[in-house]
A and B are shown apart, each in its own frame.
Chain A
């Protein structure tokens, strides 16, 4: 049982608080992804787990042992770096064998273990080459092999696919997934790419400015973002945000005009202002304006239509209120068309204005 436990972990560089109050337990065999924009503290968190960065506050335990002051090599973790970090002057075999050699594993066993790992990763014929004679994908495979050979309790990945081109990235992502399925080793994976996060993760930790914004399954963070930051970060293109103000009669209308709702299914308290969110893919577009502005349906003018391929993005203007809708790529509306845009109530999100926290949905 390998359980990685971070208890209120924090890291500061002088006055800069890179990570604050990181509190999480990673289950045995779990694939956990740390996701967030650049500079939000993902790498710092991972490097604290690896032992490459000291922990300023809090406790790190792996399988019940406190690891704060344990040397990186004794933590039972292996790390894969974004820029591969292979030893350029050593062969693929020596790169993969280094940790075992240093552990004084018998030569026979080293050869056997490196051989098997190389075979699993399709590297057998490259074992005698130097890293410079390999392609980017092969180098990253060597880096992964170097981690696997050690049979660590935890794999740490810091943006391992970011240096690869788009096509290879998709291929390696699938390989990583298969690898995790077959090895079942607890993995912590850092990325700023939400597609990697959504596809690989059992659970995603979304970080913002050194703080955990939300922890949840890919489904949860997509369906029920905990705050405005998560809502805007997950999903592409980003969620539409519209500020609403409570009118004299109790209904809600957008500050820039256009949207009007008789009621909203959120516990709004006595707020007079909220921010409404709707994902572009959830806006329903129908060709003709039939009902006018009620029940979440509005007449809109298409200002811009961008074909992405399978899909198209429509930039809509609802009496001054702008929002983006994602529709099918064939036979979509054109710029200048008048359409009806429906914002289905169950797919709306509401956020508190000063704090950005999601407002709970009323159970009906």
Chain B
């Protein structure tokens, strides 16, 4: 009995936290199935009446570029994730395991770099990308996003590697594996919950990133979902029905991926508590 009491408290907190974080999404979904009149109704309409899917039909017929935005986001998100995991994995491994001198100092330095507000880098980044012809290219935004999220990846993966029993890698060394082979055939297979968790967080952040995507992708056809959706033109008012519908469509991939890897994310974030 007494042991259950704190549990009830925890569950209540968890439920409150979930409801609070889900409210905007629920509101968004509800808005997307309201009529325009319903959206602007006063007093506000909480539940849509009538329910309509016209907004979804409209968006695919009137603004087909939404699919393009989503595709751009997918390409940039996946590219950023792959590059961040590759570089972050190798750097994290070197920093946590190969007995580098001053590894701790380097780790703090890496973290310090990520404290620069990205917006302050924008003018020089824009000029550089312009000179290099990287504006409006996937490569360009992938590089920019990797720069943004690599420190996080290095830290996450380095701390994950640090939880692996060192002796396994030592046994591999005695068996005759080199460092790269140990990393590839021992460390990566044993660390995939860490890679999944890190990769997913990087993907989501890249997907949602706004300032760099706005400035470095100036052509409409290259815009990512958040930028494209926010720039939907409205004549006299914000086209709330279009924006909310498009946003719902844009978060679907993330929700699906998160649902699939939910277990690994939790496992990766709480690394070290298990074997």
Chain A: residues with CB nearer than 8 A to chain B?
50-52, 72-73, 77-79, 81-83, 85-89, 98-99, 102-103, 146
Cross-chain contact B176 with A99 (CB below 8 angstroms): yes
In the assembled complex, the CB of B23 is this many whole angstroms from the nearest CB of chain A, namely 42
B189 and chain A: residue at smallest CB distance: A89
A97 and chain B: residue at smallest CB distance: B175
Contacts A83-B165, A85-B165, A89-B190 hold; do A52 and B176 have CB atoms under 8 A apart?
A: no
Cross-chain contact A102 with B167 (CB below 8 angstroms): no
Q: Which 5 A-B pairs have the closest CB atoms?
A: A85-B167, A73-B176, A102-B176, A99-B175, A85-B171
User: Would you give 12 A-B contacts (Cβ < 8 Å), ordered by A?
Assistant: A51-B174, A72-B174, A79-B174, A81-B167, A85-B171, A86-B171, A87-B172, A88-B190, A89-B190, A98-B175, A99-B175, A146-B175
Residue in contact with A73 in the complex, picked from B168, B174, B190, CB distance below 8 Å = B174
Contacts A87-B186, A89-B189, A89-B190 hold; do A81 and B173 have CB atoms under 8 A apart?
A: no
User: Quick check: is B170 within 8 A (CB to CB) of the other chain?
Assistant: yes
A143 and chain B: residue at smallest CB distance: B171
Cross-chain contact B177 with A85 (CB below 8 angstroms): no
In the assembled complex, the CB of B267 is this many whole angstroms from the nearest CB of chain A, namely 14
Residue in contact with A85 in the complex, picked from B170, B176, B189, CB distance below 8 Å = B170
Tell me what chain B mostly uses at the interface: helix, strand, loop, or mixed. helix
B165 and chain A: residue at smallest CB distance: A83
Query: What's the Cα separation between A317 and B167 when bound, in Å?
Result: 50
Interface size on B, residues (CB 8 A): 14
Contacts A87-B186, A88-B190 hold; do A52 and B175 have CB atoms under 8 A apart?
A: no
In the assembled complex, the CB of A127 is this many whole angstroms from the nearest CB of chain B, namely 17
In the assembled complex, the CB of A74 is this many whole angstroms from the nearest CB of chain B, namely 8
Query: What's the Cα separation between A89 and B173 when bound, in Å?
Result: 17
B174 and chain A: residue at smallest CB distance: A72
Q: With a CB–CB cut-off of 8 A, which chain A residues contact B172?
A: 87, 98
Q: Considering residues A50, A51, A78, A88, which has the most beta carbons from chain B within 10 angstroms of its beta carbon?
A: A88
Contacts A85-B170, A89-B189, A89-B190 hold; do A73 and B165 have CB atoms under 8 A apart?
A: no
In the assembled complex, the CB of B164 is this many whole angstroms from the nearest CB of chain A, namely 10
Q: With a CB–CB cut-off of 8 A, which chain B residues contact A50?
A: 170, 174
Contacts A87-B186, A89-B189 hold; do A103 and B167 have CB atoms under 8 A apart?
A: no
Q: With a CB–CB cut-off of 8 A, which chain B residues contact A82?
A: 167
Cross-chain contact B176 with A87 (CB below 8 angstroms): no
In the assembled complex, the CB of A295 is this many whole angstroms from the nearest CB of chain B, namely 56
Q: With a CB–CB cut-off of 8 A, which chain A residues contact B175?
A: 73, 98-99, 102, 146
Query: What's the Cα separation between A86 and B164 when bound, in Å?
Result: 12
Q: With a CB–CB cut-off of 8 A, which chain B residues contact A98?
A: 172, 175
Query: What's the Cα separation between A325 and B174 when bound, in Å?
Result: 48
Residue in contact with B173 in the complex, picked from A72, A83, A87, CB distance below 8 Å = A72
In the assembled complex, the CB of A258 is this many whole angstroms from the nearest CB of chain B, namely 51
Query: What's the Cα separation between A11 and B175 when bound, in Å?
Result: 24
Cross-chain contact B171 with A81 (CB below 8 angstroms): yes
B177 and chain A: residue at smallest CB distance: A102
Q: Other than the known A78-B174, A85-B167, what 11 A-B pairs have Cβ atoms closer than 8 Å? A: A50-B174, A51-B174, A73-B175, A77-B174, A81-B170, A85-B170, A88-B168, A102-B175, A102-B176, A146-B171, A146-B175
Q: With a CB–CB cut-off of 8 A, which chain B residues contact A51?
A: 173-174
Q: Considering residues A51, A89, A103, A146, which has the most beta carbons from chain B within 10 angstroms of its beta carbon?
A: A89
Cross-chain contact B190 with A79 (CB below 8 angstroms): no
In the assembled complex, the CB of A100 is this many whole angstroms from the nearest CB of chain B, namely 9
Q: With a CB–CB cut-off of 8 A, which chain B residues contact A73?
A: 173-176
Query: What's the Cα separation between A88 and B189 when bound, in Å?
Result: 9
Cross-chain contact B174 with A103 (CB below 8 angstroms): no
